[in-house]
């Protein structure tokens, strides 16, 4: 199962040719299971510029498989620990939401498909985070 980050979906929706987008396109063609999280859903929708676009994205993405925190309090605590541990090792993660997405991916033993260097930096400290840029 692949958890597809917002960074990949944005490039996909823009028609960008990236390694991650090419991988996602092939995965969708082959019916490889892909998922999103609630926060990825929110990030995609809030990127809309027009009402029609918002509704179109809402319709498509609301039908996708969602991965949720397995235990909200524990998940948020562990996401904070990711941020803390990275900072303690001199690595600054730009978005705390990336820590949450990484934690959810690890909880579900999913491969995180992304185009965001923060996930690579997290994986250096948390090798349990399986990730791919395509």
Q: What tens digit of pLDDT does each residue of 40-88 get?
A: 999 999 999 999 999 999 999 999 999 999 998 999 999 999 999 999 9
Domain edges within the chain: 2-132
Would you state the torsion angle of the CA atoms of residues 26, 38, 63, 10, taken in this order, to the nearest 10 degrees? -40
What is the fold, at CATH topology level, of the domain defined by 2-132?
Answer: Rossmann fold (3.40.50)
**Residue 110 neighbours by CB distance under 10 Å:** 21
CA distance 54 to 48: 5
* C-beta separation of 32 from 41 below 8 A: no
Residues 81-100: pLDDT tens digits?
999 999 999 999 999 999 99
The model carries a pTM of 0.94
């Amino acid at each position: 199962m692949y958890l597809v980050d917002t960074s990949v979906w944005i490039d996909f929706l823009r028609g960008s040719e990236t390694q991650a987008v090419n991988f996602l396109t092939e995965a969708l063609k082959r019916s490889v299971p892909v998922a999103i999280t609630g926060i990825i859903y929110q990030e995609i929708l809030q990127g809309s510029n027009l009402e029609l676009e918002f509704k179109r994205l809402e319709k498509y993405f609301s039908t996708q498989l969602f991965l949720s925190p397995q235990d909200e309090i524990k998940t948020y605590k562990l996401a904070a620990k990711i941020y803390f541990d990275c900072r303690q090792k001199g690595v600054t993660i730009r978005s705390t939401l990336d820590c949450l997405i990484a934690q959810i991916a690890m909880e579900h033993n999913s491969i995180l498909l992304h185009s965001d260097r923060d996930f690579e930096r997290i994986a250096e400290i948390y090798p349990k985070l399986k990730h791919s840029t395509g």
